[in-house]
Chain A
Amino acid sequence: MNAAKMIGHQSLWLARRLLSGVIVVWAAATFTFFVQFLMPGERAQIIFNANSGNVGEIPRDQLLAINAKYGFDQPVIVQYGRYIRDVMHGDLGQSYVQYQPVTDLIGRQIGPTIALAFAAVLTAWIITITTTVLFAGRDNIWSKALGGLQVFLATLPPYWLATILLVVFAIQLRLFPVVGGNTLMGLVLPTIALALEIYGFLGQAVLSEFTRVLDQPFITSSRMRGTGDLGIRLRHALRHAALPGITLSGWIIGKLLSGAVLIEAVFGRQGLGGVLVAATSTRDVPVVSGVILVSAALFVATSLFVDLTVQLIDPRMKEA
């Protein structure tokens, strides 16, 4: 295949991927829109309760007023059309509870969440690469201990680990702030707590592939050329072993975007997870939908990034 054709092939693939990404986000939007009708209670009631601060039955006139204001009196299909149109214009609606646009609400929280997710995955990768290159496939006690440690970390509840870290390093040793907010120092402990859990999974995936690759004929072939052990590990085995880890990382990042709630809670951090929990408990539908929609979009972007990275490392994937 010549280069020009390869590039054409590649952009076609990219276009197809972007289109399927748009479909995924649209499906998420449609799903969250229709699911709100399955939730118990009138939406107007939720808004009324949030406005008035009490939980009494909504008066008839208030009900009509709120329905008219939010367009709940329109047919469902009209509401759906309006919602999709707004989403396409980047408008995710108004929070029922907090009287502000959902985009503002999410915009403020998304930064810390992404920072934490990427910092945690990056840290996990650093630990994974270091321990794998140093210990994998060696016929010694450290190699065996490494596998055991990974299983232990994978099974450990991360919020428990987070609490321990908090008590030891923040409260007793006072090395880090207890409530870190968005400072760099405040990012350290939650990152470590999450990274160790991720390492439990990521490390296992990379370790097993690394060990398998070390037995391949092309490794022996390279040794027969006089390549040293470190060269074998860094130049040959690591690339192969990284592939399953990268695929796994995409999934982990996607999960962390809305799933780091407990860690965020322990360290008093802001984040999408907290927003989602609060919005769900107050039935703040636009916020819930917004968070799901943004998570879906980030997930699509991450998996595209993951696939591109995999192709960069293993060009054979381009042809598949």
Chain B
Amino acid sequence: MNVTYPTASFRQNATPPAASVPLLRVQNLNVSFGPAHSRRDVVKSVSFTVEEGRCVAIVGESGSGKSVTARTLVGLTGARSHVQADRLTFQGKSIDHLGDTEWRALRGKGIGFVLQDALVSLDPLRPVGKEIGEALTVHRAIRTGGELTERVVELLKLVGVPEPAVKARQLPHELSGGQRQRALIATAIALDPALLIADEPTTALDVTIQAQILDLLGETRERGKAVILISHNLAVVSQMADEVIVMRHGEIVEHGSSEQIFGNPRHDYTRSLLKAIPSVRSRGSRLSSSKAPRFISAERDVTKALAQSDIAQRSRPLLEAEGLVKHFRGPDGKLRTVVNDVSFRLGHGETLGIVGESGSGKTTVARMALALERPDLGEVTLEGALWTAATEKERRQRRSDISVIYQDPLSSFDPRWSIERVIDDALARRRGDPLDRASRRSEVSELLDLVGLSSSFRNRRPLELSGGQRQRVAIARAIAPRPKIIVCDEPVAALDVSIQAQILDLLGDLKSHLRVSYLFISHDLGVVHHLSDRVLVMNHGVAVEAGGADDVFLRPRQPYTRKLVAAVPQLRFQAA
């Protein structure tokens, strides 16, 4: 980027602290929530320092206390929190027990903070320029309106937003995801704070955009600013951080240089996190420490099912899509081509991965495969018979042949139904031999066992379960009608790496034991590569490249695929 930073005028006047004093020092930090009699410790004896110009990453899974630790540094842990530390200093001054006015003076000016997902982190009703301007005006860094507008445009230009003067007057939803995140970063660096904290700054973004945002954060560090990067994505962290802090259950389990953490992890937890990342290396191996289950009951069922099925029929593709085209009308009334001439085949026992960035049309393809959406042109056939072109009445009895697992199972469960009822409902739709009540009951137990949940889950409700447990129930529901195909639409996108690893392992186990085929949709190239036999890459509704998973990801032929593969952050320092 060839824009110079418009700093000099609003850089802080404070003299830089002596070299011996780190920019930030946290010593024995403890944070708890709730009233005195039932206090919940979320951060336990955490100590670390951050030097100027360094990037320190805090990694951990949800509930590890990483975000709370960061929020402590700007005094925004919430009204019902108790913060206690032996020492909490920033630029040599104690920031322990600050009053509201002192905190406000520090926020934005001394420490900038970037939250994840700018769509909800920028006020949807205010132009983005106003949000950036707010950072300048609350600290009275700017006096006149003209100067303010000028500065806002400069800042947007600095973070690489095209047409900054136009974008400054637009609302967040009128900007692309990447531009929004850039604008949010502009609000945080408007006053050139000495420390920038970024909490999952790239989580909601596509890989290519993620790479750009990481570059932007890297530039901030190169200007001599310190960065605290909070992320669950270890590859992202390995690209950026000088030092890494691994947190679990509110405690630091390991703290070291990036080289040490990624090259020679000492703690078991760090090692398990690294092992859980799906990638080209992990193909064919298990990601989690769970053992492959025995599947006694399932095996019996499958053998029975196989015996019944026609061998000749199995040589044909199971699902075949031919020249799919789908248009949608946009808010401006214009017709947009969401899917343009996409064809694919899915064979028996095969996994076809569909990758693409948001808006590539991959979910629309999945919906057409499920015949939930009728293609404008082309058609999908299921086992050689009409599928999208059939009537809904004809499809209904064959619907049990094709199941689906979504990213967020919670919204696909009736929150008032027990887990037993959720699965039982799916069992009742099983074709062929109808089950009576008693055998359905025992079948529910078997299915829960199959997905690694105990029978005690049958009476629970979806809201009482964790994300990973919900996804297991969703899988049990999907396999209950004995489908031949399961469409998985971003099934692990909302899960922590270690949970993601367990779910991916489970899907792998089920595939080999139930001999189902997966149509596996994800934006995560590592996940797709780990699980898929063949891959289809989509961009702007077009199938850009298709082929064997290794061919596509290791030897991409199309420029777009190459760009996509190159943008995926790789784990650095890793021992071969």
Per the 8 Å Cβ criterion, residues 210-259 of A in contact with B are: 216-218, 220-229, 231, 235-236, 239-240
A78 within 8 A of B: no
The reply to whether B331 and A221 form a contact with Cβ atoms under 8 Å apart is no
- Alpha-carbon gap, A224 to B190, bound state (A): 12
Interface 0/1 of B180-224, CB less than 8 Å to A: 000010011010000000000000000000000000000000000
- Alpha-carbon gap, A64 to B140, bound state (A): 84
The reply to whether B134 and A235 form a contact with Cβ atoms under 8 Å apart is yes
CB contact between A226 and one of B79, B109, B115 (< 8 Å): that residue: B109
Beyond A217-B121, A221-B122, is A227–B115 a contact (Cβ under 8 Å)?
no
**Size range of the chain B interface in the assembly:** 20 to 34
Tell me, rounded to whole Å, the shortest Cβ–Cβ distance linking B115 to chain A: 5
The reply to whether B74 and A224 form a contact with Cβ atoms under 8 Å apart is yes
B164 within 8 A of A: no
Beyond A220-B76, A223-B76, A223-B107, is A314–B138 a contact (Cβ under 8 Å)?
no
Chain A residues lying within 8 Å of B122, measured Cβ to Cβ, are: 218, 221
Chain A residues lying within 8 Å of B113, measured Cβ to Cβ, are: 221, 224-225
Per the 8 Å Cβ criterion, residues 73-112 of B in contact with A are: 74, 76, 79, 100, 104-109, 112
Q: Which of B79, B113, B190 has the most CB of A within 10 A?
A: B113
Chain B residues lying within 8 Å of A229, measured Cβ to Cβ, are: 100
CB contact between B107 and one of A139, A225, A239, A313 (< 8 Å): that residue: A225
The reply to whether B121 and A227 form a contact with Cβ atoms under 8 Å apart is no
B555 within 8 A of A: no
CB contact between A319 and one of B79, B126, B331 (< 8 Å): that residue: B331
CB contact between B105 and one of A226, A235, A239, A319 (< 8 Å): that residue: A226
Per the 8 Å Cβ criterion, residues 250-300 of A in contact with B are: none
Chain A residues lying within 8 Å of B126, measured Cβ to Cβ, are: 235-236, 239
Name the residue of chain B whose CB is nearest to the CB of A318: B331
Q: Which of A139, A218, A223, A319 has the most CB of B within 10 A?
A: A218
Beyond A139-B79, A227-B134, A316-B171, is A221–B107 a contact (Cβ under 8 Å)?
no
A1 within 8 A of B: yes
The reply to whether B184 and A221 form a contact with Cβ atoms under 8 Å apart is yes
- Alpha-carbon gap, A139 to B35, bound state (A): 13
Name the residue of chain B whose CB is nearest to the CB of A243: B125
A157 within 8 A of B: no
CB contact between A228 and one of B125, B138, B171, B184 (< 8 Å): that residue: B138
A107 within 8 A of B: no
The reply to whether A221 and B135 form a contact with Cβ atoms under 8 Å apart is no
Per the 8 Å Cβ criterion, residues 106-141 of B in contact with A are: 106-109, 112-113, 115, 117, 120-126, 131, 134-135, 138-139
Beyond A139-B79, A228-B138, A316-B173, is A216–B120 a contact (Cβ under 8 Å)?
yes
The reply to whether A222 and B79 form a contact with Cβ atoms under 8 Å apart is no
B163 within 8 A of A: no
- Alpha-carbon gap, A240 to B126, bound state (A): 10
CB contact between A225 and one of B117, B124, B135, B173 (< 8 Å): that residue: B135
- Alpha-carbon gap, A5 to B187, bound state (A): 31
Chain B residues lying within 8 Å of A236, measured Cβ to Cβ, are: 123, 126
Chain A residues lying within 8 Å of B190, measured Cβ to Cβ, are: 225
Chain A residues lying within 8 Å of B106, measured Cβ to Cβ, are: 226
B332 within 8 A of A: yes
Beyond A231-B138, A316-B171, A316-B173, is A224–B115 a contact (Cβ under 8 Å)?
yes
Interface 0/1 of B315-345, CB less than 8 Å to A: 0000000000000000110000000000000
The reply to whether B124 and A218 form a contact with Cβ atoms under 8 Å apart is yes
The reply to whether B125 and A222 form a contact with Cβ atoms under 8 Å apart is no
Name the residue of chain A whose CB is nearest to the CB of B333: A9
- Alpha-carbon gap, A10 to B126, bound state (A): 20
The reply to whether A239 and B125 form a contact with Cβ atoms under 8 Å apart is yes
The reply to whether B120 and A224 form a contact with Cβ atoms under 8 Å apart is no
Per the 8 Å Cβ criterion, residues 455-488 of B in contact with A are: none
The reply to whether B74 and A315 form a contact with Cβ atoms under 8 Å apart is no
- Alpha-carbon gap, A221 to B183, bound state (A): 12
Tell me, rounded to whole Å, the shortest Cβ–Cβ distance linking B266 to chain A: 34
Chain B residues lying within 8 Å of A240, measured Cβ to Cβ, are: 125
Interface 0/1 of A144-155, CB less than 8 Å to B: 000000000000
Tell me, rounded to whole Å, the shortest Cβ–Cβ distance linking B199 to chain A: 10
Interface 0/1 of A304-320, CB less than 8 Å to B: 00000000011110011
Name the residue of chain B whose CB is nearest to the CB of A213: B123
- Alpha-carbon gap, A315 to B169, bound state (A): 12
Tell me, rounded to whole Å, the shortest Cβ–Cβ distance linking A220 to chain B: 7
The reply to whether B117 and A224 form a contact with Cβ atoms under 8 Å apart is no
Chain B residues lying within 8 Å of A225, measured Cβ to Cβ, are: 107-108, 113, 134-135, 138, 187-188, 190
Interface 0/1 of A1-18, CB less than 8 Å to B: 100010001000000000
Tell me, rounded to whole Å, the shortest Cβ–Cβ distance linking A57 to chain B: 64
- Alpha-carbon gap, A313 to B113, bound state (A): 28
Name the residue of chain B whose CB is nearest to the CB of A237: B123
Tell me, rounded to whole Å, the shortest Cβ–Cβ distance linking A170 to chain B: 43
- Alpha-carbon gap, A150 to B71, bound state (A): 35
- Alpha-carbon gap, A196 to B265, bound state (A): 66
21 A-B pairs in the complex with CB atoms less than 8 angstroms apart: A5-B332, A216-B120, A217-B115, A217-B117, A221-B121, A221-B122, A222-B134, A224-B113, A225-B190, A226-B106, A226-B107, A226-B109, A226-B135, A227-B104, A228-B138, A231-B138, A313-B125, A314-B125, A316-B124, A316-B125, A316-B173
Beyond A226-B109, A229-B100, 8 additional contacts (C-beta under 8 Å) are A5-B332, A218-B124, A224-B74, A225-B107, A226-B104, A226-B106, A316-B125, A319-B331
